[in-house]
Amino acid sequence: MYIIEETKTIHHDYLERRDVEPILDEFGLHIWSGRYYGAGCGSHTILNESDLTCILVGFWYPLKKKQHAGGQFYRHYKNAVRVEWKRLNEEDKLRILDQVIPDWARRPGKLKRDYLKPHFHKKVEHDNAGNIIAYKYLTWDQQCQVFKSFSWHSQIADWIDNSITADQVPTEENTNGIYAAKTPNNPILKHYAMYPDVKLVKLCLSGAVIEYDHGYRAEHADILEVLS
């Protein structure tokens, strides 16, 4: 597609999306860049091939106390016709996602494989022997070469030979047990991922296991694999 880069004449210090929208006509695709005091816009060609074009547009304007507002959006064109992201096939989406996206910009969208099905984080995973699989962040003690559990109210427990047993059998009446999530990217794990010297591990649970929507409390756990 023939792209015409033009300077946008901005007469005020406020912009809306319609002010910087690319225009497709018989001459080509017109995209804009320009500034006026604290307001401005910029258009970036992410991909431009014979059959597929992707444009990223950003705009901003000043608010009070030196703050700024604005927005960003993508426009996609297939065979010189504008199409929405959801109407592109997976191959075309991947071609766009493989391009260099500016650090300040969000991604244009996802592939179908990236969308999680409803209740994905609640599903139960088993190994070939029928044992329950779970996931947990542990701290790694470099000096002692041993994994340790997080603990906010008691002494931190060591995972001897990559295994650990709860101090009491977990039941519905207590809060004991080895806590773990059902999926490796479960939102309940995000808090632990921010701590230093942590590793995500894949576990095999055994003994008494209390199940919840997103995780478990288990009597015993063995580390099967270190994932990160």
Predicted local confidence at residue 14, as pLDDT: 76
Checking if the pLDDT of 19 tops 70, the result is yes
Q: Count CA atoms within 13 Å of residue 152 on its CB side.
A: 1
Residue appearing with tokens 């906010």: 152
User: Over the stretch 79-136, which tens digit does the pLDDT of each residue have?
Assistant: 999 999 999 999 999 999 999 998 889 999 988 877 767 788 888 999 998 999 999 9
Task: Inform me whether the pLDDT recorded for 152 exceeds 70.
Answer: no
Which has the closest alpha carbon to 192: 149, 133, 159, 144? Answer: 149
pLDDT value, residue 208? 95
The share of the chain scoring above pLDDT 70, in percent, equals 95
Q: Would you place residue 67 in the very low, low, confident or very high pLDDT band (cuts 50, 70, 90)?
A: low
Q: What is the mean pLDDT of the chain?
A: 89
The domain locations on the chain are 3-114, 120-226
Q: What is the pLDDT of residue 39?
A: 83
Q: Tens digits of per-residue pLDDT, 139-149?
A: 888 888 889 88
Write the pLDDT tens digit of every residue in 118-131: 788 888 999 998 99
Predicted confidence (pLDDT) at residue 205 exceeds the cutoff of 90: yes
- The phi, psi pair for 182, rounded to 5°, reads -80, -25
Helix (H, G, I), strand (E, B) or coil at 38: coil
Task: Report yes or no: 177 and 210 within 8 Å, Cβ to Cβ.
Answer: yes
Burial call 128-139: b when 16+ CB within 10 Å, e when fewer: eeebbbbbbbbb
Pick the more confident residue, 210 or 120. 210
Q: Please tell me the predicted confidence (pLDDT) of residue 153.
A: 47
pLDDT at 228 over 70: yes
Average pLDDT over residues 186-194: 84
Give the pLDDT of residue 136.
Answer: 94
Report the C-alpha gap between 218 and 136 in whole angstroms.
12
Q: Tally the C-alpha atoms within 13 A of residue 88's C-alpha that lie toward its C-beta.
A: 27
Question: CB-hemisphere CA count at 13 Å for 207?
Answer: 19
Tokens linked to 60 = 């901003």
Average pLDDT over residues 194-210: 91
Overall average pLDDT of the 44-69 stretch: 87
Q: Is residue 163 a contact partner of residue 157, using CB atoms and an 8 Å limit?
A: no
pLDDT at 40 over 60: yes
Contact (Cβ atoms closer than 8 angstroms) between residue 77 and residue 24: yes
- pLDDT for residue 65 is more than 70: no
Between 63 and 106, residue with greater pLDDT: 106
Confirm if 77 and 53 have CB atoms less than 8 A apart.
Answer: yes
